[in-house]
Amino acid sequence: MHSQLSLKTNSLALLEDGAVAAVLLGFAPPSTLLLASSSKLNEVLMPNPFHRPQFGFMIDVTKVEGIFSTYGWLRESVFNTGLMVMVMDSADRVDIQLFSTYGWLHESAFNTGLMVMVMDSADRVDIQLSVKMAKSPETEHPLKAVGWATKDTSGVFSPFKFSRRATGEHDVQFKVLYCGVCHSDLHMAKNEWGFTQYPLVPGHEIVGEVTEVGSKVEKFKVGDKVGVGCMVGSCRECDQCTNDLENYCSKMILTYSAVYVDGTITYGGYSNLMVADEHFVVLWPENFPLDIGAPLLCAGITTYSPLRYFGLDKPGMSIGVVGLGGLGHVAVKFAKAFGTKVTVISTSINKKEEAIEKLGADSFLVSRDPEEMKAATGTLDGIIDTVSAHHPILPLISLLKPHGKMVLVGAPEKPLELPAFPLISSRKLLAGSGIGGMKETQEMIDFAAKHNILPDVEIIPIDYINTAMDRLVKSDVKYRFVIDIAKSLKLE
């Protein structure tokens, strides 16, 4: 049987018998994606609420291979909302309605990125997708948790109740004390990278105090100060994992908005409680400030790792840091601690005094000043480019000496223009780097403690987060917000 689905909107989907088909109908919900395996449809087993018993089906969602949404592949439990979907196709139209265990849903149900499954029968389409109610974020795990979440692309935060898993054998449970606000949190809150799972509790610069450890935990005990950065899991078996490069594991699990091994969505540190596998937890150095230090867990390792890996950590080297924000200002501090000469490269002269007097940079270049840039041609051994807005890179590459290395750690949305000739003629290297492995993250935090490297932060209460995000958009922060979770997050 070939099942043909005609959607008046803009697409045609052919679902082959026994096959799983996914068709993208466009990026604007609700005209999104359909997925079904016709062999996995069973005749309806329940009273048909739509009074169309002759064409009713019930789908066992445990047999559906996956559901695709505008936000990427969804896990099974997206059905946890108890949604029932009904799709009708009469000769000239498709009528989509959603019925949940709570009654008919209004359109905004689609905002969750829910997809509609559509199959036809010989002469009409009339499908019901009955979804078994699993559990809500609040009840899917045993430990009650509270945080602040964004529920949709507006990116507006509000209090959110959810739950954490019980402390497993290898898990560390800790009370969150502080959490840094990374630029990624802002992108993710508004789904600007296209894979946000709502509700979203961001935060991957998390520090706290251990309250419970699993029976097989070796590195931590109750009362220890700990940190969790950008990832909470990986396969632990691949070449990357076995070489302490979990950050490059293809199965790396992000601290928030990712699917954990148990199938549930991960929630980050804008919350009162964390449970994480000890392998992805770092031990916080004694007497090292938890609040100011928190951003090192992302901004710190993101800049420390490329300086180390690319050998840009040798005393006397000349290192350029492009962009003076959350990442850039920490890059300056690490590069200085390695004994290099640091040049801050920025579009604005306004940051010169700050860069040199406060952060200890040796020199400052205004990237929009052609004379200054020309004078500095061929002077740098390496460049860490932290800028995540689109920007020209040829002038930066020109600053490198022959064999110089430029490493991108900021991620502009649009491709950068890369002329090959300047690279070829002087054997220059352009590379990328993303956070660091767990061993290196621990090394970074220990190094930071030893050399007293601390980000410049502004401590805020959690209920300031919406204002903080507005300010972050305007780069109106020096240089990182850190949320005082313990003091400001209301548990009720």
Counts of helices then strands in the chain (DSSP H, E):
12, 29
Q: Any contact of residue 241 with Zn ion (CB under 5 A)?
A: yes
Instruction: Tell me: does residue 112 bind Zn ion (CB under 5 A).
Output: no
Stretch that binds Zn ion, among 125-133, 276-284, 297-305, 482-490 (CB under 5 A): 297-305
We find the least distance from the C-beta atom of residue 143 to Zn ion, in angstroms, to be 25
CB of 194 to Zn ion, least distance (A): 17
Q: Which is nearer to Zn ion, 234 or 388 (CB)?
A: 234
Chain positions 183 to 212 lying near Zn ion, rule: CB under 5 A, are 184
Q: Are strands 363-366 and 380-385 parallel, antiparallel or unpaired?
A: unpaired
User: How far, in Å, CA of 482 to CA of 181, rounded?
Assistant: 6
Residue 396, classed as helix, strand or coil, is: helix
Binding residues for Zn ion, total number by CB under 5 A? 8
Q: Is 330 in the site for Zn ion (CB under 5 A)?
A: no
Minimum distance between the CB of residue 307 and Zn ion, rounded to whole angstroms? 17
Identity of the residue, 29 or 227, whose beta carbon is nearer to Zn ion in the bound complex = 227
Assess 235 for contact with Zn ion (CB under 5 A).
yes
Residue of 64, 74, 182, 365 interacting with Zn ion (CB under 5 A): 182
Which residue in the set 249, 274, 312, 482 belongs to the binding site for Zn ion (CB under 5 A)? 249
Q: How far is the CB of 396 from Zn ion (least distance, A)?
A: 22
- 303 touching Zn ion, by CB under 5 A: no
DSSP H or E run through 440:
helix 438-450
Minimum CB distance to Zn ion, residue 255 (Å): 9
Helices (H), 272-392: 290-293, 299-309, 326-337, 352-353, 370-375
**Side chain identity at residue 167, one-letter code:** T
> Residue 241 or 449: which CB sits closer to Zn ion?
241
Identify which range of 182-190, 268-276, 289-297, 483-491 contacts Zn ion by CB under 5 A.
182-190
Among 119, 179, 298, 359, binds Zn ion (CB under 5 A): 298
By beta-carbon proximity to Zn ion, the closer residue of 86 and 241 is 241
Task: Choose between 21 and 459: whose C-beta lies nearer to Zn ion.
Answer: 459
Q: Three-state DSSP class for 157?
A: strand
Alpha-carbon Rg for the chain, nearest whole angstrom, is: 25
Residue 234 in contact with Zn ion, rule: CB under 5 A: yes
Q: What is the maximum span of the chain, computed from C-alpha positions, in angstroms?
A: 80
Break the chain down into helix, strand, coil percent, rounded to 5. 25, 30, 45
Provide the minimum distance between the beta carbon of 426 and Zn ion in the complex, in angstroms, as a whole number: 32
User: Quick check: 309 and 247 in contact, CB under 8 A?
Assistant: no
The residue type at 356: I
Q: What separation in angstroms does the CA of 354 have from each of 225, 329, 357, 361, 478? A: 32, 10, 5, 9, 10
Tell me how far, at minimum, the Cβ of 312 lies from Zn ion, in Å: 21
Residue 219: exposure state from Cβ atoms within 10 A (0-12, 13-18, ≥19)? middle
Query: What's the min distance (Å) between Cβ of 240 and Zn ion?
Result: 5
Residues that bind Zn ion (CB under 5 A): 182, 184, 234-235, 238, 241, 249, 298
